[in-house]
Amino acid sequence: MDLRLLRCFVAVADAGSVTAAAQELYVSQPTLSRQLHRLEREIGLVLFRPLDGRLVITSAGRELLPRARTLLAGAAAVRAFAREIAAGAIGAVHVAAPTAILHDVLAPLIAAAPPNLPPLTVRPMDTEKLYDAVDGDADLAVGAHAPPAHLSARVLARLPVRAYVPANHGLAINGSVTLTELIDHDLLLPDRQHHIRQVLDVATAEAGLVYRTAGGFESAPVALANAAAGRGVAVASGDPAFGLVPLPIITAQGPMMEPLFAAWRVDHHAPSTLAGLAGELTAYLIDRHGPWVAPETRHSVPALRTRSLH
Amino acid sequence: MDLRLLRCFVAVADAGSVTAAAQELYVSQPTLSRQLHRLEREIGLVLFRPLDGRLVITSAGRELLPRARTLLAGAAAVRAFAREIAAGAIGAVHVAAPTAILHDVLAPLIAAAPPNLPPLTVRPMDTEKLYDAVDGDADLAVGAHAPPAHLSARVLARLPVRAYVPANHGLAINGSVTLTELIDHDLLLPDRQHHIRQVLDVATAEAGLVYRTAGGFESAPVALANAAAGRGVAVASGDPAFGLVPLPIITAQGPMMEPLFAAWRVDHHAPSTLAGLAGELTAYLIDRHGPWVAPETRHSVPALRTRSLH
DNA sequence: TGACTTTACGGTTATCGTAAAGATG
DNA sequence: CATCTTTACGATAACCGTAAAGTCA
């Protein structure tokens, strides 16, 4: 079922003669006649019949004609679609991210549904395999670790790392906590591979401080749950839960922050779409957490804004 | 946009490697690799990318894949449809017929909608050009004249030729009229080219009789209208109108009858469908006018059945 | 080394256009 | 005889398969 032959069929049916159709298709008339016969032999139908020195379409040809047109239109649509893809269009963006980011950032963004957002398909991905996902079936990877250099990447935002305490906790009064104050408490932390742990390690090392922890938890929400149970102060960067109060952690370098990255392959077919999505993510995070989380700026610690955190 | 290349694309995407897909497609592996690159060059997209010695589909390929499948399915559907046509299927039957037959036979048949009737498209056609219509865009021609010998043909029925008189006319009492009785009256007839005129000419010539007429009318309904106005006795074969009473005309050979033919090209792709439609027409006419109109049988004149004529 | 893809090359097939022949009014 | 279709034929281009080379765990 060669589409070219189908095109010949439609052209002859429209033009009313092989000669006329051959001119429109820029082929010689015998060539077109042969292609018609080739099609007839291929599909086992007589499509035209000579009458008065002309060709007239047969009943079988009349039956086939609209289907042939439809198929050719479908082929043209696929061609046009391919051109759109080549021009950078994209139907749906597949995003890979750790569960926490998926839960705290991507799902809320999808729920907010900004107007320019392409359809997103998000998939949870272990931190270790995160940036390899763009070599597979992910268009974009969003994570807290710095992506490898061979990927195109953007810093989406610098999210505050915070201490989470019950509302009646002594630290809750100030609205923030210094690193020095923090290490006097038992810290409830996620596992070592979580990026938040590395940020904390670097900050305490720079300050010459040491913190106490009863070992890592499997995930940030579990650490928060233990904090709510009064077992210590949780350190994390996600949304508060269990009625806990989040306190920005102040270091000598300013508020402790955790960067959020988006990364994609340099040879992705729609880099501008992905960069645009990264911009949407940044805009969303700024809208949600305030302008001071913007990747390129450094502001002072804002007053704690509990309302906008929900 | 060669469908074969699209098939290669889908096969490789499904098989996961060129080598595996090549085996399924019964082509050599380098050939398939080349076809993939040909497709990529043709549509301007990179569909696969090497990773760890394998090929993995790119985001562009992932976007294109479902469209390619759809198009290939459409091509398969067209191929299947062509096979159905070749096997004698037909979507709609185009029927050409004179206006009178279209009105008296085909339209009522469509309205009756017997279960096995294919969709009909009926088109009025002058009597002279009727049987040429099957060389054009008509599948079937239905008419009263004998079709040319080069067409496949069936006699659908032999419809009674009748005299139409007002209910208070003297002839109306008997329920039928002999040819001898008939020629005593002024006859209102359609034009010379109407087949009914030729039937009457033959019958009177055989009987050695001569009839009087005030000239032909453009169509049978106009002749009937004049009969209703009391200007004479109309002779026709269609449905009664204007409150006229139809009287079978009895000749020495029995009731005067007019055959109804269906004809189609001998090389039509679905002769069985057309023959079946002819059978439906015969069945409908028998159901409507009685078994004595059946083409192969000769019965005596039935009692006038005014009820079933409406 | 093994599995896979790509490149190179010889040979076959398909397809094209020109030119001539057949068919029809 | 003018128009259209079909057939014939030589030449070009496309395509395939085998074989070799390249690439990556």
DSSP B299: -
Instruction: Give A77 CA → D15 C1' in Å.
Output: 27
Residues of chain A with Cβ-Cβ distance to B74 below 8 Å are: 70-71, 74
Residue B120: its pLDDT value, please? 94
Q: Per residue in A116-126, pLDDT tens?
A: 889 999 999 98
Domain residue extents for chain B: 3-86, 93-155+265-291, 162-255
Instruction: Give B47 CA → C17 C1' in Å.
Output: 36
Nearest to A151 by CA among A270, A263, A268, A269: A263
Residue A159, both tokens: 């999210």
| E strand or H helix that includes residue B216 | strand B212-217
Local structure of B254: helix, strand or coil: strand
Nearest to B120 by CA among B304, B11, B281, B248: B281
Residue A96: its pLDDT value, please? 95
Q: Is the pLDDT of residue A187 over 50?
A: yes
Q: Does the distance separating the beta carbons of B82 and A43 come in below 8 Å?
A: yes
Q: How many residues does chain B have?
A: 310
Nearest to A211 by CA among A256, A154, A173, A175: A256
Q: Does the distance separating the beta carbons of A45 and B86 come in below 8 Å?
A: yes
> Which residues lie across from B157 on neighbouring strands?
B260
Q: Residue A218 — very low, low, confident or very high, per pLDDT cuts 50/70/90?
A: confident
CA distance A101 to A143: 7
Query: Does A50 contact strand D, using a CB cutoff of 7 Å?
Result: yes
Q: Is the pLDDT of residue A293 over 90?
A: no
The alpha carbon dihedral of B296, B301, B303, B309 has a sign of positive
Q: Which residue among A46, A81, A269 sits closest to B46, beta carbon to beta carbon?
A: A269
Residue A188: its pLDDT value, please? 92
Residue A308: its pLDDT value, please? 41
B252 touches chain A (CB under 8 A): no
Q: How confident is the prediction for chain A on average, in pLDDT?
A: 88
What is the three-state SS of chain A?
CCHHHHHHHHHHHHHCCHHHHHHHHCCCHHHHHHHHHHHHHHHCCCCEEEECCEEEECHHHHHHHHHHHHHHHHHHHHHHHHHHHHCCCCCCEEEEECHHHHHHHHHHHHHHCCCCCCCEEEEECCCCCHHHHHHCCCCEEEECCCCCCCEEEEEEEEEECEEEECCCCHHHHCCCEEHHHHCCCEEEEECCCCHHHHHHHHHHHHHCCCCEEEEEECCHHHHHHHHHCCCCEEEECCCCCCCCEEEEEEECCEECEEEEEEEEECCCCCHHHHHHHHHHHHHHHHHHHCHHHCCCCCCCCCCCCCHHHC
- The torsion angles phi and psi of B175, rounded to 5 degrees, stand at 85, -10
Q: Is the pLDDT of residue A303 over 80?
A: no
Q: Per residue in B98-113, pLDDT tens?
A: 988 998 899 999 998 8
Q: Is the pLDDT of residue A222 over 80?
A: yes
Q: Residue B303 — very low, low, confident or very high, per pLDDT cuts 50/70/90?
A: very low
Topology at the third CATH level for domain A3-86: Arc Repressor Mutant, subunit A (1.10.10)
Q: Is the pLDDT of residue A304 over 80?
A: no
CA distance B135 to A56: 8
Q: Per residue in B229-238, pLDDT tens?
A: 888 899 988 8
- The position carrying tokens 């002769």 is B271
Report yes or no: B169 and B186 within 8 Å, Cβ to Cβ.
Answer: no
Domain B162-255 superfamily per CATH: Periplasmic binding protein-like II (3.40.190.10)
Among A182-191, A297-306, B134-143, the range scoring the smallest mean pLDDT is A297-306
Q: Residue A47 — very low, low, confident or very high, per pLDDT cuts 50/70/90?
A: very high
- The position carrying tokens 């055989």 is B206
Q: Per residue in B173-204, pLDDT tens?
A: 888 899 888 989 989 998 877 888 888 888 88
Q: Is the pLDDT of residue A299 over 60?
A: no
Torsion of CA B72, B74, B80, B84, to 10 degrees: -170
Report yes or no: A94 and A138 within 8 Å, Cβ to Cβ.
Answer: yes
> Which residues lie across from A54 on neighbouring strands?
A51
Q: Which residue stretches of B137-270 are H helix?
A: 179-182, 195-207, 220-228
More confident residue, A310 or A295: A295
Report yes or no: B139 and B95 within 8 Å, Cβ to Cβ.
Answer: yes
Q: Is the pLDDT of residue A160 over 50?
A: yes
**Average pLDDT over every residue of B230-251:** 90
Q: How confident is the prediction for chain B on average, in pLDDT?
A: 88
**Average pLDDT over every residue of A166-191:** 89
DSSP B163: E
More confident residue, A230 or A73: A73
Q: Does the distance separating the beta carbons of B78 and A45 come in below 8 Å?
A: no
Among A132-141, B28-37, B79-88, B194-203, the range scoring the smallest mean pLDDT is B194-203
Q: Residue A213 — very low, low, confident or very high, per pLDDT cuts 50/70/90?
A: confident
**Average pLDDT over every residue of A37-51:** 90
Domain pair A3-86 / A162-255, same fold: no
**Average pLDDT over every residue of B104-128:** 90
Q: Residue B304 — very low, low, confident or very high, per pLDDT cuts 50/70/90?
A: very low
Residue B156: its pLDDT value, please? 94
Residue B308: its pLDDT value, please? 40
CATH placement of domain B93-155+265-291: 3.40.190.10
Q: Tell me, yes or no, if the pTM score tops 0.95.
A: no
More confident residue, B298 or B295: B295
* Nearest-Cα residue of chain A relative to residue B4: A2
Query: Does A140 contact strand D, using a CB cutoff of 7 Å?
Result: no
**Percent residues over pLDDT 70 in chain B:** 95
Q: Which residue among A56, A86, A136 sits closest to B135, beta carbon to beta carbon?
A: A56
**Average pLDDT over every residue of B59-76:** 94
A83 touches chain B (CB under 8 A): yes
Nearest to A71 by CA among B36, B12, B82: B82
Residue A170: its pLDDT value, please? 86
Residue A75: its pLDDT value, please? 95
